[in-house]
Amino acid sequence: MADPARIKTELPKATANDEETRPEDTEGASTSGSASNETKDSADQLKPKEESKNESAAGDDDEEGTSGETAGKRLKVEPEKKKEKRQKVDEDEIQKMQVLVSSFSEEQLNRYEMYRRSAFPKAAIKRLIQSITGSSVSQNVVIAMSGISKVFAGEIVEEALDVCEKWGDTPPLQPKHMREAVRRLKSREQIPNTKHKNILFH
């Protein structure tokens, strides 16, 4: 899996050239921390560019309503301001994450590392999807599907932990918690189910 944490150590040159180097914290505390910084950083450099593209498209609508300003000038100034604001917000978030992760206990660090690093094996997912479609799928599809599946698993585990706490039990989670979590998510339609067709007029 293209684990950003691992890629960072493999390509020190590329990443150092691309992004401003953040001051290195102590090794132990922020292996995950700096990994998260790198990922946030790279995501954050691209996001503002995407956003500004959207802005300049939407800007056409905005500047119709304004009077007394050159259309071209307003179009140039607006995306810049929004981009700076967004970069600032992301930087704040990155700093907050840094502060948070640096204050983790050992157990919390372990859990956070597992949270970030665990992933479904790409080969197995690809095999599964291909066995269903019968034709080959692109790499992006596998990346997207494994990412969504991880979020899905997370939603179930979180709901199951809620159920467990509500019922006064303790982790580890038992199958009854999982089933109740699935039942709740189904009622919220967060679990796709195409087996049952609603016949409106019978």
Partner 1 sequence: MADEEDEAGFDEEPDDGSSGGLDAGGHGKRKRLFSKELRCMMYGFGDDQNPYTESVDILEDLVIEFITEMTHKAMSIGRQGRVQVEDIVFLIRKDPRKFARVKDLLTMNEELKRARKAFDEANYGS
Find the binding residues for partner 1 in span 124-183 (CB under 8 A): 124-125, 128-129, 132-133, 135, 137-138, 140-141, 143-145, 147-158, 160-161, 171-175, 177-179, 182-183
Which positions from 40 to 79 touch partner 1 by CB under 8 A, shown as an x/- string?
A: --xx-xxx--x-----------------------------
Which residue, 74 or 167, is less far from partner 1 as judged by CB?
167
97 binds partner 1 (CB under 8 A): no
Interaction with partner 1 in 28-47: which residues (CB under 8 A)?
39, 42-43, 45-47
Residue ranges in 98-117 that form contacts with partner 1 under rule CB under 8 A:
111-117
> CB of residue 108 vs partner 1: minimum separation in angstroms?
11
Nearest residue (CB) to partner 1, 74 versus 186: 186
CA distance 101 to 111: 11
**Closest to partner 1 by CB, 77 or 148:** 148
Q: How many residues bind partner 1 (CB under 8 A)?
A: 72
